[in-house]
Structure 1
Amino acid sequence: MTARNYVEFVHVDKSYDGRTLVVDDLNLEIAKGEFLTMLGPSGSGKTTSLMMLAGFEAPSAGRILLAGKSLVEVPPYRRNIGMVFQNYALFPHLSVAENLAYPLSVRQVSKAESAERVRRILDMVKMSAFAERKPGQLSGGQQQRIALARAIIFEPDLVLMDEPLGALDKNLREHLQLEIKHLHDELGITVVYVTHDQSEALTMSDRVAVFNEGRIEQLAPPSELYEHPATPFVAGFIGENNRISGRIVARDDSRYTVETASGTRLCARSERNFALDQPILLSLRPERVRLGDDGADGENRLTCTVKEIIYLGDHRRIHLRLGDDTEIVAKVANTAGLGGVADQAEAIVSWGGADMVMLADGKAG
């Protein structure tokens, strides 16, 4: 075992009916102390993978290892893994302090040490004043703090979190994201986190594994996923994305000319190797589309029609139709102004060739 492969999935399959693979040949290494998020839509295999790591599901094939030792024959209660669920799973008849002390009593930790650990962890999650309350007397966010504290109080080898913030409102969810990340940084624990919320994954993770149909489409740090998606699925799933289809009609080193179905030609730049006449999907983030004179230096400069302007507080979303009926969205900060752009009027938009990510489009043509 090395630091990089503290947790390992080796050629892991999972099928419930013997035919359809819910998890298909999963190979994944997680470093000690890493915060790794399994991200994907419902049915993509992320939660099943987490449940196999926890021991609540058995793989149909392959091996799962923790610290170099196989977990396949180890029951869940002997894996020394902390779990945090969306529904908190606290004992309603026990106080907060008793809930936290329970995993320590199971491990036969002395009462004196247990009391000290409970005190420390309550301070850590800012819940010291609530030690004698029952879970039913706490808010959802407070209960989730206690669930998190209970998962780490016995110093587990690994902490697994399955959609832990899904039941909370947006503001509280965003606040607890940062709290969990700070706890991870402070304690140096290894966390495997499951969510379908891409903003949550980008905020908290060292790396993100994007799942689709039982396989990992891309495994990378958040910034790389956003700036350099490897597949059309990842480009569409991570953040907002304008998708423009076309074919390559010219190339000059890393500069490609892509022609859309209507004959519009766009300049794209990529270090990846694509062939002439190859179907291409161009991924363009809305914040990279510039309006009016702001785009005077763009390699791609087009006239379009403004379909709709939507006010969203800190920014506006401008829905645009290009000449060939392709629709794109521009995101403009409210401090930037709209440069004379008006609803249902013509506007000039532009962006650089490097603002687009070129992806092989197997569905084109």
Structure 2
Amino acid sequence: MSQSKYVEFINVDKSYDGRNLVVDNLNLSIAQGEFLTMLGPSGSGKTTSLMMLAGFEAPSGGNIRIAGRSLDSVPPHRRNIGMVFQNYALFPHMTVAENLDYPLRIRKITKAVRNERVRKVLDVVRMGDFGGRKPSQLSGGQQQRIALARAIVFEPDVVLMDEPLGALDKNLREHLQLEIKHLHDRLGITVVYVTHDQSEALTMSDRVAVFNAGKIEQLAPPAELYERPATPFVAGFIGENNRLTGEISGRDGDYYAVQTETGHRMLVHSSMPFNERQRVIVSVRPERVRLDTTEGCANAFRGTVEEVIYLGDHKRVHVRVNEASTFVAKVPNAGMNIDIKPSQALYLGWDSSDAVLIPA
């Protein structure tokens, strides 16, 4: 069994009414020890895919495997999979230690081994002094740590996490993102994580599968997903960008001239091949747009500032270039040496390698 194909979805379909596919011919391989995130909007098929892997939903077609073994006839409790949910799902009448002991007890593990495992896993999630407390005596973040400990205490083959941090406030959520990632790095467990939060996916994952309408639009490491989106959906869903539609009007090696519908002519570098007159989308991230200092930019345009929004570490600047198009630029406050005000005329620009060409 190839390590790169530890968890496999092979031609997996899921339909609840026999007509509409919630998951449509899903093919996905997850390596042993990988942290893979299924990311997408509500209804995109990511949670259904996770529930089929857990055994709580049955595929309408195709096959799911772990380490080469088909899960077709394996009930959820025999799949050796740990689960972490958004609502923690801890037993309120049990202490923390009893909650962690429960999955070991039903697996008929001896008491001495159970006690040692519970002690170790409490230390792993930094909750060693909380074994005697009830869940109601814990904060939300502490309960989520215990839910995570319970998912790993029986040494599962795979840990599945379904929006586990969705109920927590922003600061705690960001803190636990890093904790979960560091825990994954230390233990080397295989994690399949579901979220609709793009920053969470980019922060934690080895690879991200972006779901849309039951299919994977792109599967890639976080940096590639952000810097080189493969489809218009991914470009729009991951981060913010300026998008212009046009067609290829010329080529010189890996440099493409693009004539946009808004009347702009742009030069874009791309290692992906495009044809003359092919319709494309030019995507430029706001942080790549330079204001006033456009020296050396392959693409430079004159515009008028419409709005300046202060956001602490940066300003969002909206610049109207013509009647059909407004660009958004992110300007860090630390290095900002120009005072930008509404109605100000200025130049904006970016280099040919700062934009991405996407088939329209």
Q: How does 1:3-22 map to 2 (within 5 A)?
A: 3-22=3-22
**1:23 is matched with which residue?**
23
> In the alignment, which residue of structure 2 is the partner of 1:288?
288
Q: 1:28-70: CA deviations, max 9, x gaps?
A: 0000000000000000000000000000000000000011000
CA shift for structure 1 position 105:
0.5
Aligned residue number for residue 227 of structure 2: 227
Q: Counterpart of 1:180 in 2: which secondary structure?
A: helix
Q: CA deviation at 1:288?
A: 0.2
Report what 1:64 is aligned to. Answer: 64
**Is the 1:292–1:340 contact (alpha carbons within 8 Å) kept by the matching residues of 2?**
no
Matched, 1:350 2:349: yes
Tell me the equivalent position of 2:203: 203
Instruction: Please state whether the residue corresponding to 2:176 is helix, strand or coil.
Output: helix
Q: Which residue identity lines up with residue 266 of structure 2 in the other structure? A: L
Residue aligning to 1:307 = 306
Cα deviation digits, residues 269-325 of structure 1 (max 9, x gap): 1121212222210110010000112x2110011111111111111111111111243
* 1:261 counterpart residue number: 261
The 3-state SS of whatever aligns with 2:244 is strand
Distance 2:120 2:62 in 1: 40
Contact 1:92 1:135 in 2 (8 A): yes
CA–CA distance in 1 between the matches of 2:157 and 2:34?
A: 12
Partner SS for 2:104: helix
CA contact (8 A) 1:301 1:348 kept: yes
Distance, in Å, in 2 between the alignment partners of 1:319 and 1:134 is 52
Residues 62 and 262 of structure 1, relative CA distance in 2, 3 Å threshold: closer
- Partners of 1:230 and 1:278 in 2: how far apart? 16
C-alpha spacing 1:123/1:276, structure 2 compared with 1 (3 Å): same
Do 1:341 and 1:347's aligned partners in 2 also have CA atoms closer than 8 Å?
Answer: no
SS in 1 for 2:4: coil
Aligned residue number for residue 276 of structure 1: 276
Deviates more, 1:101-110 or 1:250-259: 250-259
The count of residues paired between Structure 1 and Structure 2 equals 360
Give the AA of the match of 2:80: N
Q: Secondary structure at the match of 2:322?
A: coil
Q: How far apart are 1:263 and its partner, in Å?
A: 2.4
1:338 Cα deviation (Å)? 5.1
Q: C-alpha distance in 1, partners of 2:320/2:269?
A: 23
| Alpha-carbon distance in 1 for matches of 2:264, 2:337 | 25
The CA distance in 2 between the partners of 1:341 and 1:93, in whole Å, is: 59
Answer yes or no: is 1:121 the counterpart of 2:121. Answer: yes
Aligned letter for 1:68?
G
Deviations 1:133-171 (A, max 9, x none): 110111110000000000000000110000000000010
Structure 2 counterpart of 1:160, which letter?
Answer: L
| Pair 1:330 & 2:329 matched | yes
Map residues 211-222 of structure 1 onto 2, 5 A cutoff.
211-222=211-222
Q: Any idea what SS the aligned residue of 1:250 has?
A: strand
Structure 2 unpaired stretches of 5+:
none
Instruction: Measure, in 2, the Cα distance between the counterparts of 1:327 and 1:348.
Output: 13
Deviation at 1:208, TM superposition (A): 0.5
Give the CA deviation at 1:360: 1.1
| 8 Å CA contact retained: 2:47, 2:194 | yes
Question: What SS does the corresponding residue of 1:4 show, helix, strand or coil?
Answer: helix
Report the equivalent of 1:164. 164
Q: How far 1:108 sits from its partner (Å)? A: 1.1
Query: In structure 2, the residue corresponding to 1:224 is in which secondary structure?
Result: helix
Of 144-153 and 239-248, deviating more is 239-248
Given that residues 162 and 195 in structure 1 are in contact (C-alpha distance below 8 angstroms), is that contact kept between their aligned partners in structure 2?
A: yes
In structure 1, how many angstroms separate the alpha carbons of the residues matched to 2:323 and 2:358?
21
Q: Structure 2 CA distance, aligned partners of 1:335 and 1:109?
A: 57
State the alpha-carbon separation in 2 of the partners of residues 202 and 255 from structure 1: 29
SS of the equivalent of 2:235 reads: helix
SS in 2 for 1:42: coil
Query: Contact 1:303 / 1:346 at 8 angstroms: preserved in 2?
Result: yes
Other-structure match for 1:194: 194
With the length of structure 1 as denominator, give the TM-score of the two structures.
Answer: 0.97
CA distance in 2, matches of 1:232, 1:265: 20
Secondary structure of the residue aligned to 2:43 is: coil
- Scaled by the length of structure 2, what TM-score is found? 0.98
Over residues 199-219 of structure 1, what are the superposed CA-to-partner deviations in whole Å (9 max), with x where a residue is unaligned?
000001011100000000111
| Kept after mapping to 2: 8 A contact 1:301/1:350 | yes
Deviation for aligned residue 1:268: 0.9
SS in 2 for 1:32: coil
Structure 1 gaps, min length 5: none
1:94 aligned residue = 94
Aligned to 1:249: 249
SS of residue matched to 2:348: strand
